Structure 1
């Protein structure tokens, strides 16, 4: 038996695995192998087969052996041969199924919501395809040969240099390229920091946040301690003996609003006094509308803050790229946790993003999407003021989502009503820490509405459906 991999010029694309075995010599074995490949669907109708000479060379058989096999399969109707078009798999109907053997049906997919207003996703129809493609082409053409070898665990120098310049200019971050480690997003950063035992708990977190992050921390054996929130952000005065604190200071997730300037200074003072660390989730700091930009807390003390960002909100969650800006004392441990072989962020994507940032395309895209999301935010506020004036809209000075305050005790019923009407959104309770300090502040009822999620052409219908969720007061 010979297991051979045949390289085809068209439509086969990848190698074709043929097993030449059984009685009758090589010609008969080749006929059986090709016939089985067609019958089994591995060679689709219309697929062009390799020329006699190249297939014969790959298989180690005589050219006439291949020619004779092709000719017999053409005569049987499996293949077709036409001058100038080569030999192809025939376009023919599949044989009928035997009676009593019903076709296997794929179970239908569960029907999704008619209108998706869940948080966490940008308008993916706004992805800058032309500019991204131009950057990818430049990056590929200019990439040095060594870029195609094993990667640096810190990430490509080109990307770290571009990020250092951008973060300093746009987010007030103080860093050098050698303090940046490229990762695949915030979740990956948490895994490196806590599963890699670079940091340890207990860790203070905001009383509202992503359950996914709390689950990831719990899986790493980290105990999380919730901090209550008020109109000035997290109550950092409640910090005690924790080893660190995880904050979203530019735009608290999901309730909205920046961390007050006094509290930003206070959390740095606490970290210095306790020899602790602040993990700053800078998840959508570029998108602000009705307030001045809020710089990163990291700028107050680069040796006490780990800043983590990504392009999941600004570009797309499909671009699996993020970054950590690290104090010097954590660099070696993070790189050791990451390992010698880069397994998460592809080098070509890193080079593409580096060009995208350095060329100014990233800034232009962010400004364009900021205008789009501001317009959507304004339409949401206006529609609710007109059709559901009893619903208070909060947390809309920045970001990609709004919080709609509801009367006490109505959240669960409203989320269920929205589901029945085909509107997907999240209740505020879904983001509440299980040990939320009820005594510090009552847990409000509300909805978290992602106004960035629907594509532009579907936004008006999504708003109309959302307004229909709220009964008259």
Structure 2
């Protein structure tokens, strides 16, 4: 039998699984197994080993067998033993043959030298409301009924669905009831539930999408056999007048991703009229609707017709992508199919996290956090615009009235060289071409998509300096 073992926390009574098969006595086998684990680096220097009694009980050997094995390895220098601190792997015990250790994959060449992360899509991790989240988690755990610790309801906890119904109505103008909301782990999970083959498959393609959007979403849909048809964009958003026989359309009406700007009011009405006439549905990606700076809030498209629009949101921008919670606000006719696609039990979104988020919303802490981060990101946005106005006034900045990123319009033919220059400056960002649908006939526009939320406050000034150093000078044009 191959040796098996489990990494464990450094605390008394932790598990340590060792295989004692092989020739010789149990004592000899235990010494050999421990020596091999230290020798290969599987037990790191400083790791605390279980007490004699615990390990003996786990391995089914006598306590003295473990004591003797520990004593011999201490004498050989593999372990150390001190009164009050237990038995530990000696600090000087380094793996003698590092080549046999499991190697981590080499980092991406860009990631190896990255000093400044200006990629879109990630909030400031230092802004996560740890104190408020912990307080909500404790309250939720203390008040949770016993049923919480059983199999989860695929619709999501009623506490969270009720809290979201109230919050979305107040903050985003959504019209719904808690039983129309289904909890998921995020936008990608929602797409899989709506278009995947694993359950009821509520929706089918072809699906119209904006000509610029996340390639990850297009790849996910393609993997589910869904053909996507690109809609051109202009200064008023997606050209919804180009919709024809598609069964659904996916839009970012509050803040087009990544080019910026809301969908014009006339087009919002027009796409709802199209859905009614065709018996189709509009998918509304409300990915950063909370963060607006220079204009009045744009309400959810869903409010125009709750029976023709599916609103999808999450906390990945407002709180953290580490909190795997999102929601779908569904027309009544889709609720049953989506729940069938999820299955009989909740397998994705932590029930305890759902309760914590519900408490965060009801207590008002979520609103306070969003307002605080809105102020922080507005300041970041202003610093970016000011730096570009001073250092690169020839660069047009767009999409900055809302959200967590901006688009820098570049001279024709300079996008690729600007991305390479950013890499040399240690800046991670994306060119606008990365988001372009491969089948669109829109004219090509060079640009950079710059996320200003991710860097910490103390690193932001250096990130802006490096970014400006990577931009093409005025009048530059590729030959």
Regarding TM over 0.5, the answer is yes
Per-residue CA deviations over 1:43-71 (Å, capped at 9, x if unaligned) read: 44444444444444444444444444444
Q: Map of 1:25-104 to 2, 5 A cutoff?
A: 25-94=25-94
Per-residue CA deviations over 1:405-451 (Å, capped at 9, x if unaligned) read: 2233333333333333333322222222222233xxx3332222112
Q: Is the 8 A contact 2:13 2:51 kept in 1?
A: no
**Distance verdict in 2 for CA 1:103–1:257, change over 3 Å:** closer
Q: Map of 1:271-290 to 2, 5 A cutoff?
A: 271-290=275-294
Q: How far apart, CA to CA, are the structure 2 residues paired with 1:88 and 1:434?
A: 57
Q: CA deviation at 1:281?
A: 0.3
Q: State the match for 1:246 in structure 2.
A: 250
- Which of 353, 356, 359 is the equivalent residue of 1:352? 356
Q: How far apart, CA to CA, are the structure 2 residues paired with 1:175 and 1:250?
A: 18
Is 1:315 matched up with 2:316? no
Is 1:145 matched up with 2:146? yes
Q: Map of 1:13-412 to 2, 5 A cutoff?
A: 14-22=14-22, 25-94=25-94, 109=107, 110=109, 111-196=112-197, 197-412=201-416
**Distance verdict in 2 for CA 1:400–1:86, change over 3 Å:** closer
Aligned to 1:16, what secondary structure does the other structure show?
coil
Aligned to 2:203, what secondary structure does the other structure show?
coil
Q: Which moved more, 1:27-36 or 1:201-210?
A: 27-36
Q: How far apart, CA to CA, are the structure 2 residues paired with 1:309 and 1:350?
A: 14
Q: How far apart, CA to CA, are the structure 2 residues paired with 1:153 and 1:103?
A: 41
Aligned to 2:113, what secondary structure does the other structure show?
coil
Q: Is the 8 A contact 2:45 2:94 kept in 1?
A: no
**Distance verdict in 2 for CA 1:50–1:391, change over 3 Å:** closer
Q: CA deviation at 1:33?
A: 4.0
Aligned to 1:324, what secondary structure does the other structure show?
strand
**Distance verdict in 2 for CA 1:102–1:66, change over 3 Å:** closer
Q: Which moved more, 1:39-48 or 1:175-184?
A: 39-48
Q: State the match for 1:471 in structure 2.
A: 473
Aligned to 1:257, what secondary structure does the other structure show?
coil
Q: CA deviation at 1:221?
A: 1.6
Per-residue CA deviations over 1:73-129 (Å, capped at 9, x if unaligned) read: 44444444444444444454448679xx99998786442323222211112222222
Aligned to 1:309, what secondary structure does the other structure show?
strand
Per-residue CA deviations over 1:200-223 (Å, capped at 9, x if unaligned) read: 111111121111111212222222
Aligned to 1:152, what secondary structure does the other structure show?
coil
Q: Which moved more, 1:11-20 or 1:242-251?
A: 11-20
**Distance verdict in 2 for CA 1:357–1:226, change over 3 Å:** same
Aligned to 2:18, what secondary structure does the other structure show?
strand
Aligned to 1:308, what secondary structure does the other structure show?
strand
Q: Is the 8 A contact 1:207 1:436 kept in 2?
A: yes
Q: How far apart, CA to CA, are the structure 2 residues paired with 1:9 and 1:394?
A: 49
Q: How far apart, CA to CA, are the structure 2 residues paired with 1:82 and 1:460?
A: 49
Per-residue CA deviations over 1:311-346 (Å, capped at 9, x if unaligned) read: 111111222211111111111111111122322222
Indicate the structure (1 or 2) with the bigger Cα radius of gyration: 1
Work out the number of aligned pairs and report it: 468
Q: Is the 8 A contact 1:12 1:47 kept in 2?
A: no
Q: CA deviation at 1:398?
A: 0.8
Q: Is the 8 A contact 2:12 2:50 kept in 1?
A: no
**Distance verdict in 2 for CA 1:164–1:76, change over 3 Å:** same
Q: How far apart, CA to CA, are the structure 2 residues paired with 1:102 and 1:430?
A: 39
Q: Is the 8 A contact 1:2 1:20 kept in 2?
A: no
| TM-score, with structure 2 as normaliser | 0.88
Q: Is the 8 A contact 1:6 1:58 kept in 2?
A: no
Q: CA deviation at 1:258?
A: 0.8
Q: Is the 8 A contact 1:401 1:451 kept in 2?
A: yes
Q: Is the 8 A contact 1:377 1:396 kept in 2?
A: yes
Q: Is the 8 A contact 1:206 1:227 kept in 2?
A: yes
Q: Is the 8 A contact 2:283 2:311 kept in 1?
A: yes
Q: CA deviation at 1:347?
A: 1.9
Aligned to 2:17, what secondary structure does the other structure show?
strand
| TM-score, with structure 1 as normaliser | 0.89
Q: CA deviation at 1:374?
A: 0.8
Q: Which moved more, 1:214-223 or 1:48-57?
A: 48-57
Q: CA deviation at 1:247?
A: 0.6
Q: CA deviation at 1:388?
A: 1.7
Q: Which moved more, 1:42-51 or 1:161-170?
A: 42-51
